[in-house]
Amino acid sequence: MGTRKDRERQEDLWVAYTNMAAGPGHPFYARLNEVLEGEGFDAFVEGIESERGIAWRLKDSLSLRHFVGIALDEDTPDHSTISRTRRLIDLETHKQVFSWVLGLLADRALLAGKRIGIDATTLEASAAMRSIVRRDTGERYEEFLTGLAKASGIETPMREDLARLDRKRKKRTSNKEWKSPTDQDARVAKMKDGSTHLAHKAEHAVDLDTGAVVAVTLQAADLGDTATVQETLADAGLAVADLVDREAELHPEEEPKVNVEGIEELVADKGYHSGEALEQIKELEVRTYIPEKKQPGKRHWKGKQGQQQAVYQNRQRVRGRYGKRLLRRRGEFVERTFAHCYETGGMRRCTLHGRKNILKRLLIHVGAFNISLVMRKMLGAGKPRELANRMAELVLGASKRLINLFRYKNADNFNLRSANTPRHTGHFITVRWNTDWEMAHCTTGREGVVGSPL
């Protein structure tokens, strides 16, 4: 303070790179780079290193520049470069990257593959409802309403007339009649907040033992859960089978970390319950734990003996103590992936067009969430901000312990002890420093405390 004027000077036009001040970098990204380099990530996916950064973050962050490998005298890729790179790389390559991350989890015993929870959520498409057109004629929605108004006798309809006419129509925006000209894969759907938007449907298959996302699919938003569960379950089953074969090939003498029997149990909410879906899943030798919908009247099972057996067996499992515990785990683990990927992860609203292009982005996004499980096991934090908060809590906790110790030693009643009362040896603070993690662990305790005011 007060010396800024003295330090003001004209900056040099050219500064050598070796003379520039460089920070140590963020410890989270340093450890993440060690994990990726140790597993040979760059050699596995050569040529798409720029996909690891986001353009506006790379421009300002020295830690991210160092993480991605962009020098200070190099320009970071802009949004058009990243989008073009993603379009040039096919979907199969993105799926292989996602499978590579699953192998990383399996090596660290972070994927069991026995109990799977499936759930879906809607993603708002990058398309406006006001821009939809008819599939048969290409007519815009406003033009369509104007034609209806003129047919009803209104020669020059106003906007209020069109709105009134639109409210009177029973089924206004059917996906069979309307489409988006910018994103033809988007479908009209009702979001969780009750609003109507053009949307896509993302479905996750999550390991209920570790919280890892085993498979992710992108479906049409107008499809029901019972119609999409088969594809997601099949992708998860293939992923687990590939991991079992991978373990048998790389570590034949070790005890397998992934369930060699594959997926044995499926847990979902009541939206996935139907007799046909339960029968199909049973044929795959997978036990279901899906709550049953409340239906009026009595169900008739004539000619549906297979569905009846599957429904009754599922009902018995759901009502058991083990089934209720699995349903609670589904609510915890599956919803957590949605919160990290779409709420705090910023993917609730899509910025891309086309289901295939969005799925590419989704696979890398969810793959990064899976890597966070590895980082959380190593550092106790899955994100850089969480690691910074843990360090701050550690320092704050140690400071509070030191303050309490100081207050205790200076309290008036410290020397007012009975002769028969064992003397308190005081608090002790132990700080362990792990050079591999670059983190300090602080533990506190008390010895021989009798009648301590704390």
pLDDT one digit per residue (tens) for the chain, 454 residues: 444 445 444 555 565 655 555 555 555 556 666 665 665 655 544 433 334 445 656 665 666 666 666 676 677 666 666 677 777 888 898 899 899 999 989 988 889 999 999 999 999 998 888 888 888 888 887 777 777 777 777 777 777 777 777 777 766 678 888 888 889 899 988 887 778 889 999 999 999 999 999 999 999 998 999 999 999 999 999 999 999 999 999 888 888 899 999 999 999 999 999 999 999 999 999 999 999 988 877 888 888 999 999 999 999 999 999 999 999 999 889 998 998 888 887 788 888 888 999 999 899 889 988 988 887 776 555 455 555 565 566 666 666 676 666 666 665 554 544 444 555 444 444 444 444 444 444 444 444 433 333 3
pLDDT of residue 326: 94
CA proximity to 269, closest of 226, 312, 207: 226
pLDDT of residue 63: 63
- Within its chain, how far is the Cα of 143 from the centroid? 41
Tokens 């670059």 correspond to 438
Q: Whole-prediction pTM value?
A: 0.68
Residue 288's CB: how many other CB atoms inside 10 A?
22
The dihedral sign for the CA sequence 445, 449, 451, 452: negative
Start-to-end C-alpha separation, the chain: 41
pLDDT of residue 187: 92
pLDDT of residue 374: 84
- Counting DSSP H helices and E strands in the chain, the numbers are 15, 10
CA proximity to 202, closest of 188, 226, 189, 219: 219
- Residue 203 and residue 188 in contact, taking contact as beta carbons nearer than 8 Å: no
Q: What are phi and psi of 126, to 5 degrees?
A: -85, 65
pLDDT of residue 380: 54
Query: Token pair for residue 142?
Result: 């406003």
pLDDT of residue 151: 78
pLDDT of residue 160: 77
The dihedral sign for the CA sequence 53, 37, 362, 370: negative
